[in-house]
Amino acid sequence: MTDEDKQLIAKYMGWQPYPPACVGDVLFYVDTTTYRPIRWDLNDAALCVQEMQKRGDWRNFLIIARNLHKLEFDSQVVAWLFNAANFFAAMSQWLREKK
């Protein structure tokens, strides 16, 4: 996952870079509600899914992920998304498409 991918996802989620931009290079992101570091794993993917559901974006995300990766059924998409790297790659593509 590229730094641009991380920035897109962090912006959607409201996660902040740490240290702040005025201090130096971004080492990691922190969740602004829990102040825990983001590790870009399945736990963080679950937080993204929860946010998508809250915003009403989940179904649209599944449709775009299915089309982008040429998967036939939603169950295939969900199984494929259980890999954190796949999920975040699909999410960053979805966010680019959404612009």
Check pLDDT > 90 for residue 69: no
User: What local confidence, expressed as pLDDT, does residue 75 receive?
Assistant: 67
The answer to whether the peptide bond before residue 20 is cis (omega within 30 degrees of 0) is no
| Integer angstrom CA distances of residue 62 from 21, 24, 35, 46, 51 | 33, 36, 29, 14, 14
The mean-pLDDT minimum among 4-8, 40-44, 64-68 falls in: 64-68
Q: What percent of the chain has pLDDT over 90?
A: 42
pLDDT of residue 25: 62
Tens of pLDDT, residues 12-60: 999 988 766 555 566 688 888 888 889 899 999 999 999 999 999 998 9
Helix axes 84-98, 58-68, angle to 10 degrees: 100
pLDDT exceeds 80 at position 4: yes
